[in-house]
Amino acid sequence: MSVTPTKPDGDLVQLEIRGRSTEANRRAASGDPRPVQHILDRFPSGGRGRPWVDVPDEDWNDWRWQQRNRVTTLEELEKVIDLTEEERNAFEESHARFHMAITPYYASLMDPEDPNCPIRLQSVPKMGELLVLPTDLEDPLAEERDMPVPGITHRYPDRVLFYITHNCPVYCRHCTRKRKVSDPSSAAAKKQIEDGLAYIEAHPEIRDVVISGGDPLSLSDERLDYILGRLRAIPHIEIFRLGTRNLVTLPQRITDDFVYMLRKHHPVYVNTHFNHPKELTEEAFEACRKLADAGCVLGNQMVLLKGVNDDPKIVKELNHKLLMARVRPYYIYQCDLSQGISHFRTSVEKGLEIIEALRGHTSGLAVPHYVIDAPGGGGKIPMLPSYVVRRDGKQIVLRNYQFKEFVYEEP
């Protein structure tokens, strides 16, 4: 395509700048481009909760400090929010089964007065967790059944899930792997990681490794560098993805050193787990920016949760913010049948309503796949509103997002 500059002081100057390697272009290409202010303005800082107003910035911005100062007891939680009687009881009764841990950063996003705050619902225990329905399952996705070696789930022909830790900075109350996550006795030992790597090495049909847990970013940079390096040395491995919620719960973890380490292992995909627009703060935006600037491809996996995001308006806002942070909405998961999360489940109708409200109404980039991870290990099955009205011989009658009908004639 040839460009004919019309205004010598406009396009032409632009072209000249592009042709030469100016200092500004070099800087832009090598990092440190600052997004424009009106985009940044949409990502307000997460702020500081009550107990931490006087913590020096260098501590607050240090992920190790955030890890060390996680809220894990009722006494600490009481300093952050006005606990309800129900939350107090739920903490006492659930603690032994599934620990509570909340980073000061994430705890600061909670509304201290509103028990229905979406951040609070995701991180503070509720009585619903104690309820186990007859239809609930301990391992609904049969991840253990499809385990050829401990730490690897090999269900699909060409890709595996690889669990490398059982720790997370925040324990999400809706976690599907409650049976293992936060349980020190099931922590992936060094030996298990070696066995997993050996399995991947021995199976040339595997081209894609989903690195999961727990949260893989709970490991040190050195340890991750080692695991990624081992995977990159395997000729049949084309891509891997890091599945991490640190961007949401501990964005300080995304340090310059960490992204510098990742750059060595490209192509690297990072899939994260934002569930609500409130989670897209200045800090989270900055974590996404670093990863995207380092060349990682970012995706988001949202879980549909009652009271948190079961509303098309909220999902649309979330997805628009994700796109500004260069994160592509990838999946919306129907809440699965794990034990103790029934209070989060919505109808499948709700998920379809959300997809219906997005498709056509907003950028296709903001429309993720809505899937049910089938109980019993069937894998992810896409759910779509129906756009086919009827078929008449070679004619397919379709309807669009405005419910107008159109006929497509097949050859």
DSSP code at position 351: H
Q: How far apart (Å, rounded) are the C-alpha atoms in residues 355 and 373?
A: 17
For ligand SF4, the closer of residues 173 and 316 by Cβ is 173
**How is residue 53 written in tokens?**
């107003």
373 lies in the binding site for ligand SF4 (CB under 6 A): no
In the complex with ligand PLP, the residue whose CB is nearer, 155 or 232, is: 155
The verdict on whether 183 is a catalytic residue reads: no
270 binds ligand SF4 (CB under 6 A): no
Half-sphere exposure of 321 (CA within 13 A, CB side): 23
Per DSSP, the three-state class of 103 is coil
- Please report whether residue 159 would count as binding ligand PLP according to CB under 6 A: yes
Q: Which two tokens stand for residue 54?
A: 């006087």
Q: Which of residues 156-175 bind ligand SF4 (CB under 6 A)?
A: 168, 171-172, 175
380 part of the interface to ligand PLP, by CB under 6 A = yes
Residue 288 binding partner per list ligand SF4, ligand PLP, none, with a CB distance cut-off of 5 to 8 Å that depends on partner kind: none
Per CB under 6 A, 155 contacts ligand PLP: yes
Q: Which is nearer to ligand SF4, 327 or 357 (CB)?
A: 327
The Cα 170–Cα 105 span in angstroms is 10
Contact partners, residue 49, CB within 8 Å, separation at least 6: 80, 104, 107, 108, 110, 112
Q: Name the DSSP letter for residue 218.
A: G
Catalytic site includes residue 172: yes
Q: Name residues contacting ligand SF4, limited to 203-242 (CB under 6 A).
A: 213-215
Q: For helices 256-263 and 221-232, what crossing angle results, to 10°? A: 10
277 binds, among ligand SF4, ligand PLP, none (CB under 5 to 8 A by kind): none
Among 119, 172, 210, 284, binds ligand PLP (CB under 6 A): 210
Maximum CA extent, the chain: 74
Rounded to a whole number of angstroms, the CA Rg of the chain reads: 23
Closest CA to 72 of 138, 165, 166, 168: 168
Tell me how many residues contact ligand SF4 (CB under 6 A). 10
Active site residue 296: no
What is the footprint of ligand PLP within residues 176-205 (CB under 6 A)? none
Q: How many Å apart are CA 403 and CA 397, to the nearest integer?
A: 12
CB of 59 to ligand SF4, least distance (A): 23
My answer on whether omega of the bond before 196 falls inside 30° of 0, hence cis, is no
Q: Answer with the entry of ligand PLP, ligand SF4, none that 181 interacts with (C-beta below 5 to 8 A by kind).
A: ligand SF4
Judged by DSSP in three states, 110 sits in: coil
Distance in Å, CB of 355 to ligand PLP, minimum: 17
Instruction: List residues with catalytic annotation.
Output: 155-156, 159, 168, 172, 175, 177, 336, 373, 380
Binding site for ligand PLP (CB under 6 A): 153, 155-156, 159, 161, 210, 380
